[in-house]
Amino acid sequence: MITLSGKSVFGGIAIGKIAFYKRNEIQIKRSRVEDTEQEVKRFEAAKEKAVSQLQELHDKALDDVGETNAMIFEIHQMMLEDLDYVESIVNIITSQEVNAEYAVATTADNFAAMFAAMDDAYMQGRAADVKDVSERLIQVLSDQNSASMEMNEPVIIAADDLVPSETVQLDKEKVLSFITMYGSANSHTAILARTMNIPAVIGIGEDLKKEYDGKEAIVDGMEGVIYIDPDKETFTRMREKQKEDQEQKTLLEQLKGKENITKSGQKVMVYANIGNLSDVGAVLKNDAGGIGLFRSEFLYLESETFPTEEEQFKVYKQVAENMAGKRVIIRTLDIGADKQVDYFGLDKEENPALGYRAIRICLTRQEIFKTQLRALYRASAYGQIAIMFPMIISVDEVKQIKKIIEEVKQELREEGIDFRENVELGVMIETPAAVMVSRDLAKEVDFFSVGTNDLTQYTLAIDRQNQKLEPFYDSHHPAVLSMIRMAAENAHAEGKWIGICGELGADLSLTETFLEMGIDELSVAPGMILPLRKRIREAD
């Protein structure tokens, strides 16, 4: 028996044969061309055909994996039309007098290397996208069809990594699991695995060898382990674990549509935390009552420059529409500390967690803040959007925010743009200062949402990014729980509701404690919705 280890991106147990993904390998040769103008035309014709193919893949993906996951093919179409990408290819053809295939391959390598060198995990993931669209172009130029893997039985798909155009063409009914040598938690393989609810392990490295093709294997997506040619004892143990997992999932599925209500009749709102549009499908699939935290800073982290009002508006609008009237709480950008964006031009700080971040940036760089607020208020006309503000420490900050909001609303009125006047406004309770003045804050806003990650680090004076301090970090510390209780009491004293959107919200060992405090809402990762509902319904 051979045991391999990687990173789990979705739990569960899969048992079956390994099938390595097979691609059409095209050898790219550099050849000189006499008529560069004609070669550019050949490239442009291939580009148009590739765009058309991507539209067909988008339409197929709509049926297979839903709108949010199909959007990647729209992004790929935009990549093919990207001016920098196209100009690079044309320039190589004309200046070096070479064939289009070579120019596309060279540009793909250059752009992929550029993305891979970036610090942001999302941008690193785009290296695979540019390779994907470029390989499609080369296939069209070489007059070859793209690979479509034949599967005669359900299998465990193995690969170095998989790109969207490959995963979307797989027969989903015959995919037991994904295992890859490379990739990240943000890769499309990982996203698809979460959407399909199948085990996936990535980052196995060179130990995942092609000689394992066709061998019997077990994927333990919970532990991130693969057993190849498992012995009898391992097989029996894993089969039992698979049975227990399936029984648990079946029981949880029965909770869809049920109320989040304790045996004693206490109701709690159970919402989901998301980072971008691609997560909305998981929110709906897991039957969340709404979105308790949309981390809008990911729009900034995923962009090379400040996202425009229109770009933000489209995202917020689509989330609101997809949630069909359910509450969508969008947190204004929380840039700074551990989330750095080069184009913000932020200075290096000795203590970034205690520095220039979140609402402090918004209030001192109001042009950025107003752009986001305009997009949010415009999108409010399309659903039940609520807005909350991070890193609040004073009532004066909230009053300043409300003044800016009134300016934005007046601008929209004068421009004749629709928006909802009564958008709910809330603040994040994630500093001890906010807790201590929470009674006064509650008079100014509609709700509180406790960010337990930051509240814990600021209460305990422990940098949560510092691994050396891990033995001292205690999210269950009595002081932290007392802070949450105090904020809850002050919110309720002013007739306002309070939720928790930090990691503690998904800690099932604290669910009854939060219910006893009177917490009105718990917002967790989509996959934790049903386990949390089960815990609530069992509570007395």
Domain ranges of the chain: 2-18+149-252, 36-141, 255-538
Cβ–Cβ < 8 Å for 276, 535: no
Looking at every residue in the chain, the average pLDDT score rounds to: 87
Q: pTM for the full model?
A: 0.60
CA distance 438 to 461: 20
DSSP helix/strand/coil, 317: helix
Average pLDDT of 295-324?
Answer: 88
Say how many CA atoms lie within 13 Å of 271 toward its Cβ: 25
In the predicted model, what is the mean pLDDT of residues 55-67?
72
Look up tokens 């990762």; give the residue: 525
- Bridge partners, residue 19, by sequence: 157
Taking the C-alpha atoms of residue 428 and residue 502, their distance in angstroms, rounded to an integer, is 10
Q: What is the predicted pLDDT for the residue at 165? A: 59
Average pLDDT over residues 56-81: 74
Beta strands at 269-274 and 7-10: parallel, antiparallel or unpaired: unpaired
What CATH architecture does domain 36-141 belong to?
Orthogonal Bundle (1.10)
Q: What pLDDT shows up at residue 274?
A: 86
Residue 102 has a pLDDT of 92
Residue 338 has pLDDT above 60, yes or no: no
CB 14 within 8 A of CB 156: yes
Alpha helices in 117-177 (DSSP H): 121-141, 164-167
Fold held by 255-538: TIM Barrel (3.20.20)
Segment (H or E) for 80:
helix 67-81
CA distance 374 to 408: 6
Residues in the chain: 540
Please say whether the beta carbons of 260 and 536 come within 8 A: yes
Average pLDDT score over residue span 212-240: 92
Residue 358: predicted pLDDT: 87
- Maximum average pLDDT range among 125-129, 455-459, 464-468: 455-459
Q: What is the pLDDT of residues 431-441, one digit of tens each?
A: 999 999 999 99
Q: Which of 473, 398, 483, 397 is nearest to 432 (CA)?
A: 483
pLDDT at 23: 67
Distances (CA, A) of 209 to 276, 401, 441: 34, 56, 58
For range 348-357, the mean pLDDT: 75
Under 8 Å between Cβ of 118 and 57: no
Q: In what order do the strands lie in the sheet with 155-159?
A: 2-5, 225-228, 216-220, 13-20, 155-159, 175-180, 200-202, 7-10
Question: Is 258 within 8 Å of 292 (Cβ atoms)?
Answer: no
Region 163-191 average pLDDT: 75
Within 10 A of 73 (CB to CB), how many other CB atoms are there?
23
Share of the chain above pLDDT 70, in %: 90
* Per-residue pLDDT, 182: 83
From 69-73, 103-107, 198-202, 460-464, the region with the lowest mean pLDDT: 69-73
Phi and psi angles of residue 254, each rounded to the nearest 5 degrees, phi first: -70, -15
Strands 2-5 and 225-228: antiparallel
- Torsion sign, CA atoms 270, 273, 277, 281: negative
Q: Do 36-141 and 255-538 show the same overall fold?
A: no
Q: What are the start-end ranges of the H helices in 176-231? A: 188-196
Sign of the C-alpha dihedral computed for residues 240, 244, 249 and 251 taken in this order: positive
**pLDDT of res. 501:** 92
Euclidean distance between CA atoms 380 and 284, whole angstroms: 20
- Of 145 and 274, which is predicted with more confidence? 274
Residue 148 has pLDDT above 60, yes or no: no
Mean pLDDT over residues 5-34, rounded? 84
When mean pLDDT is compared across 227-236, 457-466, 502-511, 525-534, the lowest value belongs to: 457-466
**What is the band of 118 on the pLDDT scale with cuts at 50, 70, 90?**
confident
pLDDT band at 390 (very low <50, low <70, confident <90, very high): very high
- pLDDT tens track for 411-456: 999 999 999 999 999 999 999 999 999 999 999 999 999 999 889 9
What is the set of active-site residues?
Answer: 188, 501
**Mean pLDDT, residues 245-256:** 76
Token pair belonging to 74: 């729209």
Q: Which structure tokens are listed for 441?
A: 């804050």
Fold of 2-18+149-252: Glucose Oxidase; domain 1 (3.50.30)
Question: Are 529 and 506 in contact, with CB atoms under 8 Å apart?
Answer: no
Q: Give CA–CA dist 312/289, Å, rounded.
A: 23
Distances (CA, A) of 237 to 197, 231, 372: 22, 10, 52
pLDDT of residue 136: 85
